[in-house]
Amino acid sequence: MIIFERGFCGSRGKHGLHGMHRGGLGGRGFGGRGGFTVRWGGDDEGGPKGGRSRRMFDSGELRLVLLKLIEEQPRHGYDLIREIEGRTGGAYAPSPGVIYPTITMLDDMGMIEERHAEGAKKQFAITIAGQALLTERDAEVEALFARLAEAGAERQRTDGGPIRRAMGNLRQVLHHRLTAEDIDADRLHEVAALLDEVAQKIERLK
């Protein structure tokens, strides 16, 4: 299970935020104590035990990520969530409680603007000011998207999909054979010996 915790610091007004650093959206001086934390918890979801926390982005970094995605094409909040989730292979998805206030902040700062679209969802497009900021912070933005790609690659490496498939297949085979009417003690010992042999081979893998 992945739990998202949000936090912001500072107060905002139209096109501004108290405590803004370098006039931009990243860096410790801009909501450095805010942002959100990704907390992995629950063995059934593949996360570490004990609910260990780690941070994907701080609030300033998230704003740069959203701004870059909106530069690619006009987007609404739900689209931004799904896009980030897709780029990490499902390993990470910011909550609506984080995304929508961040969109509002970008709009207030004049970095994005609402664009009329069909349907009830608001779409936002980048402004000239937003494009200028992305150009200024190009190296940082590139590093943030590399972080997203790395999270996706790690998820793919540790997903365990083939293992789950094989375990399911083994479970079905064992159920079929061990509930057969002609099963006897010798066959049970034979199956147990095979399972022990596989376990030992897996343990010796390097």
In this predicted model, what pLDDT tens digit does every residue of 66-115 receive, in sequence order? 999 999 999 999 999 999 998 888 888 889 999 999 999 999 999 999 98
**Of 75, 73, 66, the residue nearest 106 (C-alpha):** 66
The token pair at 167 is: 């375990």
* Distances, alpha carbon 154 to alpha carbons 39, 64, 76, 97, 125, in Å: 16, 23, 27, 26, 31
User: What angle, 0 to 180 degrees and rounded to 10, lies between the N-to-C axes of helices 59-72 and 77-87?
Assistant: 100
Q: Taking a C-beta distance cutoff of 8 angstroms, is the pair 8, 59 a contact?
A: yes
Q: Quote the pTM value.
A: 0.55
Among the residue ranges 116-125, 174-183, 194-203, the one predicted with the least confidence is 116-125
Average pLDDT over residues 136-152: 92
Task: Give how far the C-alpha of residue 115 lies from the chain's centroid of Cα atoms, to the nearest Å.
Answer: 27
**Of 122, 149, 128, the residue nearest 65 (C-alpha):** 149
